[in-house]
Amino acid sequence: MSAEHPEDASVTADSPCIGHCTTVLGDDVCRSCLRTFDEITRWVAMSEAERRAVNLRIVRLARNLQHDAA
C-alpha cells in the first residue's frame, strides 16, 4: 500500500460530481468525476466511509495520471 499523502487526510465524503456525466456513452468510468457506474448509482446508499474511500481512490488515480503525464 502506498504512503499517505497530506491531501489524503482532507478527502471528504462529498460527491465529486460536476454535472458532466459520460457514463451514458458506455464508459466504464465517468470522464468527469472518475467514478464507476456502480459507484454513481450506489452513491446515496453508501456510508460516509464508503464515499470517502471512493473519493480517496479518485484522488490517487488523478495523482497517478498527473505523474504519468509528466
- Render pLDDT for 1-55 as a digit per residue (tens, 0 to 9): 445 665 677 888 999 888 877 767 777 888 889 999 899 999 999 999 999 999 9
What does the alpha-carbon distance between residue 46 and residue 31 come to, in Å, rounded to a whole number? 21
Confidence at residue 6, expressed as pLDDT on a 0 to 100 scale: 59
What does the alpha-carbon distance between residue 33 and residue 39 come to, in Å, rounded to a whole number? 11
**H or E segment to which residue 60 belongs:** helix 48-69
Asked if pLDDT for residue 57 goes beyond 50, the answer is yes
Say which residue the cell 503525464 belongs to.
69
User: Which amino acid, residue 61?
Assistant: L
